[in-house]
Amino acid sequence: MTRPIDPLIDRVLIDEAQLDARVTAMAAQISAHYQAQGNLVLVGILKGSFIFMADLARRLTIPHRIEFMALSSYGDLSTSSGEVRMMLDLRRPVAGEHVLLVEDIVDTGLTLQYLIENFRARHALSVANCVLLSKPERRKVQVQVDYLGFEIPDVWVVGYGLDYAERFRTLPYIGVLSPSVYLNS
Ligand code: IMP
């Protein structure tokens, strides 16, 4: 069943079928790469990655465990404070494991840069990242994205886990938020 487009969404940027196909392809690529390596841990960055993480993890064909971390760099508004803070750390150490960071979107790159730095001290066998969306025009620091879903333009997107002020996370597609939402808040 297709849900009607929310009136606060300007347009659908990536629909459910496109998300499904891309996440399936990414999972196949990741499974092929880590097949021979063993000891894979997916680290989902909350909250935005939770739906992507659930879909990706269920399509992997290799054993893995799941961890989550929560970081914060945005308040309720769509502007970055530029400061990344850890709100929730891993429950178990990752020393001796292959870490795959799972992120919803890379915007300025500051969050991913923080994560890459932070994992240097954790003695993982390897650290790579898997990001659903990237806005290359917005980059403030250069970070390497290892597995990327889609490049998108500089627009505020919501749905499939991504929010605006905690709203719209459960839309089944990636939609462009109507500017009327943030111009009126
Ligand atoms: P960065 O540190 O600037 O790369 O920002 C990464 C974080 O900003 C993401 O994990 C999201 O939480 C948030 N973010 C950036 N752009 C968007 C967007 O268009 N929609 C929803 N969240 C976004």
Q: Would you give per-residue pLDDT tens digits along the chain (185 residues)?
A: 566 788 899 999 999 999 999 999 999 999 999 999 989 999 999 999 999 999 999 999 999 999 999 998 755 455 556 789 999 999 999 999 999 999 999 999 999 999 999 998 999 999 999 999 999 999 999 999 999 999 999 999 999 999 999 999 999 999 999 988 888 77
Residue nearest to atom 17 of ligand 1 (CA): 156
Residue nearest to atom 8 of ligand 1 (CA): 107
Instruction: Report the 10 Å Cβ neighbour count for 88.
Output: 12
- Expressed in angstroms and rounded, the spacing between residue 38 Cα and the centre of ligand 1 is 31
pLDDT at 169: 97
| pLDDT score for 120 | 87
Residues with CB under 6 A from ligand 1: 48, 73-74, 80, 103-111, 156-158, 162
* Distance, CA of 98 to CA of 119 (rounded, Å): 11
Given the residues 10, 20, 76, 107, select the one marked as catalytic. 107
Quick check: is 107 catalytic?
yes
Q: Determine which residue's CA is closest to atom 12 belonging to ligand 1.
A: 48
Where do runs of H (alpha helix) occur along the chain? 16-34, 50-59, 110-120, 179-183
Buried-state track 128-138, b at ≥16 Cβ within 10 A, e below 16: bbbbbbbbeee
pLDDT at 79: 57
Whole-number pLDDT of residue 72: 84
Cβ neighbours around 180 below 10 Å, total:
11
Cα(70)–Cα(102) distance, integer angstroms = 12
Taking the centre of ligand 1 as the mean of its atom positions, its distance from the CA of residue 102, in whole angstroms, is 13
pTM, two decimal places: 0.94
Name the residue with the closest Cα to ligand 1, atom 19: 156
How far is it, in rounded angstroms, from Cα 133 to Cα 162? 10
Domains of the chain and CATH, by start? 15-72+85-157 (3.40.50.2020)
Specify the pLDDT at position 1: 54
Check if the beta carbon of residue 83 is closer than 8 Å to that of residue 30. no
Would you state the torsion angle of the CA atoms of residues 138, 168, 26, 101, taken in this order, to the nearest 10 degrees?
A: 70
pLDDT for 128 equals 98
Of how many residues is the chain composed?
Answer: 185
